[in-house]
Structure 1
């Protein structure tokens, strides 16, 4: 039976170098791993910088830092960089932590650990309730953390996010050890820490919602120009692009190709926070899109594997392989109590199914999986399963025997 969230003492934010350095001394004198979390302003700001960093360590207590006011966190990195850091969903926070000079050597990811342990709901509140029996309210998870001053209720929420992480880590470590998954977790945590950021996509504008409705290259050119203008302005004023001009406003303008600025303003779909105040900016972008000569292609040539739905026509034998492998993976997932997507990335399974090594052997499949970034435990768990599934898929279908017995 879970208990209600207990009252919490008032929380203060450290927003000066002097206060930060004093806190670093106290944290350095603490013991054990460091629990850390970061709050961004996704959906409100253009940047993904941290607007609040929370830290907890046994023997030291919890501390909330204001990164824009403090700047570099190198002193904290030097003090505790070599101890284990505990994060929940580390992949979401590592980039903004590294931006201020915080980069752990080893981590324990409680969200990923919960997945590997077979816990069905892996949000922080759910895992805390499952393993610690404590109700953790999460009503401020989507707040605008660039707000200043931050409300006290938000600060209490942020402090609790780290104050329970050490106990949660210990409970998960015990559960993983009991289920023989400690080494699996270690490999996954190391892979999360080592993962390289994705390179910038030069065609990011093609992710616009509703772009599929544009049938003419000129419309695509206008959409590209509007997206670029919006992105540049959003970066300039550090505001989430969609708050300035929704995607559907851009695609509506690109589809209608208004002849004048007044026609643009009259479009019912052309709305948003800056649709009218920045109308000259958007109109100038449309004019650039109408004048440009290097028109975008309607479809971009790609060497990528086609969507699985196209496999029955494009490569029927690959379709049989992927279906057999998915069935086998579902059984393996249940057997190991590990989600299917954590056994192997769906993309890597598609790659192997689309063009497997010839002949299909366990060693060759292992080599292909490892080259695609699979961890050793994943190769051990899935290579033979994949080979068996592919062999089964290659067998000719037999007609059912309808003869009388």
Structure 2
């Protein structure tokens, strides 16, 4: 903690707003400020099941910093209404927006300094690195992975949280000017606006397939046991609001599924079955194993078939599509080099894969542009890559349709 932080703590500058009365005063104060509003949220990922916000931080020139505990207050709709028409400044907005929307904070306009750093081609895009490059200030790396659900929050944590927003508006101003200087301000606005309409925090289908060690389970019966263990753990984690991995880690569940113990005692004696609640909730886990051992609903070996096959299999399965993908990727890489930004920010890889797998009947700039736009590419991306991708596809040869291969 810096001397400035210590002085602010001594002067009472890190009060947490946790009553309706204090919240109303805070809303009035932030409304009287001027310019963009820096916003951040602290969660308890890895400690709690929910991804809710346990602290919300805001900073605005002329208003100072607000540190809000949303737990006793609930909806922060009054705050959202007070600043709705202002630009909200985030660093990695996609991480914070889902939990902020849960408490009725939903901006109309944003500026994302993490995404802006990518568009500018900055080598490091973490908040600390961006602050250091643009402002020459070094932020201490601390508390980001702590359990923000604890109460009361330590004052050193609050100082850390306040700094996450107190420098963000200055970063935003310098970054905005760099975007203008590089002619990227228009495309940055398209990217920022796209975040607001994008589906964030979508749940995966069959999430249990993503457990560590699941891919090593070779039989449908072992996979069924793993699924039932995952579902039992997930239900218990939701009920107790604990992170699933803190209850029983993935590797313990998949180890139990691989061993397929024949009795409760055998499960209890399985040394690989570890975890904080592996023994205290033994009946729960044994019931899940029994369900997996007896079910007739066995998982398919490959799960839900994606719309297109994994691109790593294309070289053997669909060499024409593979050739288009490689040529198209090289074209996008050239654009990225010209623009000075990462390839994935020039065009989302999945968009290129989709059009490479199932290209238009006639390939030209207009048809490729339409296909990319239909996938979700922003207008600036379509303009930047369509002609080069179309040319690359034509050069490797126009392909037959792949409807029969997708169905196979």
Counterpart among 86, 94, 99 of residue 97 in structure 2:
94
Preserved CA contact (<8 Å) 1:5 1:136: no
Give distance in 1, aligned partners of 2:136 and 2:3.
12
Change (3 A) 1:5 1:136: farther
Task: Name the residue aligned to 2:221.
Answer: 218
Counterpart among 30, 38, 44 of residue 33 in structure 2:
30
Q: Secondary structure at 2:373's aligned position in 1?
A: helix
Task: Name the residue aligned to 1:365.
Answer: 368
Task: Name the residue aligned to 2:319.
Answer: 316
Give distance in 1, aligned partners of 2:363 and 2:49.
47
Task: Name the residue aligned to 1:338.
Answer: 341
TM-score by structure 1 length? 0.94
1:225-244 equivalences in 2 (<5 Å): 225-244=228-247
Counterpart among 62, 66, 84 of residue 65 in structure 2:
62
Which of 319-328 and 263-272 deviates more? Answer: 319-328
1:7 aligns with 2:10: no
1:252 aligns with 2:255: yes
Q: 1:260: Cα distance to partner?
A: 1.0
Q: 1:387: Cα distance to partner?
A: 1.1
Give distance in 1, aligned partners of 2:184 and 2:202.
32
Q: 1:5: Cα distance to partner?
A: 6.1
Q: 1:353: Cα distance to partner?
A: 1.3
Task: Name the residue aligned to 2:189.
Answer: 186
1:101-140 equivalences in 2 (<5 Å): 101-140=104-143
1:270 aligns with 2:302: no
| Cα distance per residue 1:152-175 (max 9 Å; x no partner) | 111111000000011010000000
Task: Name the residue aligned to 2:297.
Answer: 294
Preserved CA contact (<8 Å) 1:5 1:137: no
Which of 325-334 and 101-110 deviates more? Answer: 325-334
Preserved CA contact (<8 Å) 1:48 1:96: yes
Give distance in 1, aligned partners of 2:103 and 2:59.
18
Q: 1:301: Cα distance to partner?
A: 4.9
Give distance in 2, aligned partners of 1:300 and 1:22.
53
What is the aligned-residue RMSD (CA, Å)?
1.4
Task: Name the residue aligned to 2:83.
Answer: 80
Q: 1:305: Cα distance to partner?
A: 1.8
Q: Secondary structure at 1:243's aligned position in 2?
A: helix
| Cα distance per residue 1:349-380 (max 9 Å; x no partner) | 11111121122110000100110011100000
Task: Name the residue aligned to 1:151.
Answer: 154
Q: How many residues get paired?
A: 392
Q: 1:6: Cα distance to partner?
A: 6.0
Q: 1:221: Cα distance to partner?
A: 1.4
Change (3 A) 1:6 1:110: farther
Q: Which runs of 5+ in 1 are unaligned?
A: 396-405
Which of 320-329 and 179-188 deviates more? Answer: 320-329
Counterpart among 188, 203, 212 of residue 209 in structure 1:
212
TM-score by structure 2 length? 0.93
Q: 1:391: Cα distance to partner?
A: 2.4
Preserved CA contact (<8 Å) 2:224 2:293: yes
Q: Secondary structure at 1:7's aligned position in 2?
A: helix
Q: Secondary structure at 2:284's aligned position in 1?
A: helix
1:162 aligns with 2:165: yes
